[in-house]
Structure 1
Amino acid sequence: MVKIYQSRHPDVNARAHATFGVLAVMIALVVWGVLGGGAFFWALFTVLHLFTFLLLSLRIYYVGQFRLERETLQRAARELAAMPRRGVRPLYKTRLVLLLIANSVNWLLALYGLWKQSADIASHLLELLLINTLLYMSFYLVMKLLNGERPRWYAWCYLGGATVAWIPALYFFVYGSTDWSTTPALSREMNHQCMVLEFYDAHDLWHILSAVALFLSFNVLLTWDDGLAAVKRTEIAVF
């Protein structure tokens, strides 16, 4: 997600210490969820999830110009009070629609996690990251097409291959053949019969197919802007 954002925002990209700080917080939350968990943890995790996604949505919508500061909120409140009709009219309609879809998906995921409160917080977090990354890739591709940009043919091939690999990979991911939040003995009881060559089970297929899907997805990120190589930076659309 950071790589995609950097493609169009080299001047407002995430700083290294902030990015790895977020990863450290995620690791700490996973450890807390596995060792402790409970209703308080899931309530806090849900609030952090939705609040973080709201901030990211505001940064994406305002192209990195939004700051969660008192002065910013006060100025926004004054302008909204002075010109209410202008305040409710979106500046970027397409971007708003796509962000509303992404926010709806994240609200559903957050409510599902809060309702289920699974001890396997790592799998839930992986689901959140995977789905949001795929949503952001879709958002980027749609915005490229709406702005008249067309990826090269080999980028479409990578994208098609990644899609073909992701669909069965995600199926085997939710197949439920392991649960590392329980003891090894209980987790082994969830193992299914080997499906391929009488050797690979559903969990193996998830790892194999997701590795292929990730490789092809990364190649999509590296090649889908190749058509802009001869275009001036000032003429490239920002979204």
Structure 2
Amino acid sequence: MSGLNVEWAVAELDKFTALSTRTSGSIRGTSSYAGTTSEILAQAQVVEKILDQVVSNWRHTASPSMSDRWKATRETAIRARAVLVREQELRANLGDDAPEISAARLHPWAWSGASSLWASGHYREAVGGAARKLNAETQNKVGRRDLSETKLFQEAFTDKAAEPGKARLRRITPDSSDTYKSVQRGAMALAEGIFAGIRNPLSHEADQELDEQVALEYLAALSVLARWVDESTVEHAGGTA
């Protein structure tokens, strides 16, 4: 929830709760919502995005009601409001005031490849999607479709000179220093670790869902590599682009 405007979110949740509250009708035994259908639908679009950030997997755990279309969302909104209002107090008093990572603030290549699947609780597929997005963006940056994953990054971050059809990525200006060699080797090693230790096992464990926290940590690793690729300079044969 890092970066979420709590005051705004609470106000939006309160607005939805008020609009979706059942009120007694003029005819005995009947009821209606406080807001119109269009008002509730419009507000629900905003509230559902807030709930996706505040209440993990709420779409699959909320209990629907046949007689009250908005009951599950309304009850979840009330829970989310309590979480937001008391979160800072709870952390301070329970001794957990550690910093948070917001998935939405990870590098765009990592999060855009994962966001839609993440919202539905498909964490393994979300991480896989982020890895595929990173792979494709790296292919685009160096202009290579003949290589992918580990081999692609080994070729991209090697300290060998660029050759025709074999562009390189340079994290800093190339020179003979140990620092230059270290950052190139570090990027290559991180990529090798990600694809050998994260991406490849996921492709062979289709029936095993990832824990949300583990998946977030995997996304963070992908985000670091994505940022390094994105910020690197492309070196082509005969000079740097």
TM superposition score normalised by structure 1: 0.27
Structure that is richer in strand per residue = 2
Which gives a bigger RCO, structure 1 or 2 (Cα 8 Å, sep 6+)?
1
- The normalised TM-score by structure 2 is 0.27
Higher helix share: 1
